[in-house]
């Protein structure tokens, strides 16, 4: 009997279904807790605010999750916003790379329907808005889900039909493709227009239409999420778990750090380059090809050493001079003081505190 093509509900064939990287919140290269906004903990997801003047939060990767998962991404309100006014916002954002969205065929009659599914738990019940925004076309759609019971894991699905408007395409490049904004709280100016319940040109007044919950308004309020999956079709399938190694490599396309990798005597030599007196150039290769030429941040004390450890110099600052995506090779331009010029030297990250961070986030 010949084998037939087997399909999961709402999908076609085999292969990777989940368009979300790190949806199980397993990778947190930057750390597991932070009192700052934006990218700070769980990779590829970020909490952000807009126009708030009192709000303070903690974001964290925590070991609290529904069956089948280990971690979730959690926000805790440390200082509440007395009232959400005007355009004030608190949200979590995830962005897909545009070239990974080409099979969705937005801007044509064949535009694919997407199902977004996730597990969520919050101390604040009510309706929550999720905005699907297309960066290239400026088109948007806002739908909602409901937290029915406080402090209880609940499974949610939202179905976004594709935008079939002629010409409203997603560019085939390494820039922003599809954005998903999970609103936790918003001011009244963000919920006055209901037009975005269907695909429309983006309007800030429809950003969070339907939002009633206000996580930002209560000290110690919490909201957490895991098992985020985005797939083609009208039915949510079981979460597609990937190995930690796969998720880490996918995340490192957007962020990579090399920290705390020296020995206690400071001999943790890593890369070799040429020192010319006040300036040096060093080659560096991240473990995977990055999305674009990254920014680089020096961490801790960085020194230059010869094999004999004599004539050392100090790296004061550095930046990415060039990035060759084909060879995945960075040329690092450094400002240096001390040491003997015009010799090849090692860069050393000293005293178990040094290293670097590369960022090419969307």
pLDDT above 60 for 297: yes
The residues of the chain that CATH labels 2.40.30 are 255-359
Give 118-137 as a DSSP string. Answer: EEEEESS-EEEEEEEEETTT
Position with higher pLDDT, 42 vs 354: 42
Q: What is the pLDDT of residues 30-48, one digit of tens each?
A: 999 999 999 999 999 999 9
Residue whose token pair is 């952000």: 48
CA atoms within 13 A on the CB side of 278: 0
For Cα atoms 91, 97, 100, give the angle at the middle one, nearest 5 degrees. 130
For range 158-173, the mean pLDDT? 98
Q: Where in the chain is the domain with CATH 2.60.120.260?
A: 33-252
User: Is pLDDT of 6 > 50?
Assistant: no
Q: What is the pLDDT of residue 284?
A: 86
- The pLDDT, as a whole number, for residue 278 is 76
Span 212-232, average pLDDT: 98
State the fold for domain 255-359: Elongation Factor Tu (Ef-tu); domain 3 (2.40.30)
List, as one string, the DSSP characters of 20-84. Answer: -TTTT----TT-SEESSSBSSSSTTEEEEEES-SS-EEEEEEES---TT-S-EEEEEEEE--S--
Alpha carbon 154 to chain centroid distance? Answer: 23
Q: Give the residue-averaged pLDDT of 278-295.
A: 90
Q: What percent of the chain has pLDDT over 70?
A: 85
Q: What is the mean pLDDT of residues 66-77?
A: 98
- Report the 10 Å Cβ neighbour count for 14: 10
The residue-averaged pLDDT of 56-82 equals: 98
For 206, counting Cβ atoms within 10 Å of its Cβ (0-12 exposed, 13-18 middle, 19+ buried), the class is: buried
| CATH placement of domain 33-252 | 2.60.120.260
Name the least confident of 2-6, 22-26, 55-59, 249-253. Answer: 2-6
Q: For residues 90-118, give the mean pLDDT.
A: 98
Identify the CA nearest to 256 among candidates 293, 284, 286, 283: 286
**180-217 pLDDT, tens per residue?**
999 999 999 999 998 888 999 999 999 999 999 999 99
Give yes or no for residue 163 having a pLDDT over 50. yes
Q: Mean per-residue pLDDT for 234-239?
A: 97
- 124-137 confidence digits (pLDDT tens): 999 999 999 999 99
7-31 per-position pLDDT tens digit:
344 444 456 899 999 999 999 999 9
């Amino acid at each position: 009997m010949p084998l037939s093509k087997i399909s999961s509900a709402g999908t076609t064939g085999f292969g990777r279904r989940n368009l979300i990287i790190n949806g199980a919140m397993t990778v947190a290269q930057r750390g597991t807790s932070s009192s700052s906004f934006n990218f700070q903990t769980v990779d590829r997801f970020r909490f952000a605010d807009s126009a708030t003047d009192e709000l303070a939060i903690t974001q964290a990767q925590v070991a609290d999750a529904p069956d089948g998962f280990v971690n979730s991404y959690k926000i805790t309100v440390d200082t509440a916003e007395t009232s959400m006014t005007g355009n004030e916002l608190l949200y979590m954002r995830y962005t897909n790379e545009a070239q990974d969205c080409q099979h969705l065929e937005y801007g044509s009659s064949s535009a694919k329907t997407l199902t977004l599914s996730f597990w969520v738990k919050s101390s604040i019940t009510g309706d929550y808005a999720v905005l699907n925004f297309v960066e290239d076309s400026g088109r948007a759609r806002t739908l909602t889900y409901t937290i029915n019971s406080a402090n209880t894991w609940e499974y949610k699905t939202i179905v976004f039909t594709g935008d079939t408007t002629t010409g409203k395409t997603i560019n085939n490049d390494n820039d922003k493709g599809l954005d998903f904004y999970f609103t936790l709280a918003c001011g009244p100016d963000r919920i006055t227009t209901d037009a975005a319940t269907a695909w429309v040109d983006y309007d800030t007044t429809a950003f969070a239409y339907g939002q009633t919950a206000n996580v930002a308004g209560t000290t110690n309020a919490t909201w957490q999420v895991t098992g985020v999956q985005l797939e083609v079709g009208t039915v949510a399938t079981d979460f597609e778990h990937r190995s930690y190694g796969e998720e880490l490599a996918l995340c490192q396309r957007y962020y990579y750090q090399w920290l705390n990798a020296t020995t206690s005597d400071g001999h943790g030599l890593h890369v070799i380059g040429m020192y010319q007196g006040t300036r040096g150039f060093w080659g560096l290769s991240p473990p995977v090809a990055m999305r674009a030429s990254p920014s680089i941040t020096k961490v801790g004390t960085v020194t230059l050493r010869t094999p004999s450890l004599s004539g050392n110099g100090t790296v004061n600052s550095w930046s990415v001079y060039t990035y060759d995506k084909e060879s995945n090779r960075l040329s690092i331009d450094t400002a240096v003081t001390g040491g003997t010029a015009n010799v090849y030297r090692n860069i050393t990250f000293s005293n178990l505190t040094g290293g670097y961070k590369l960022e090419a986030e969307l």
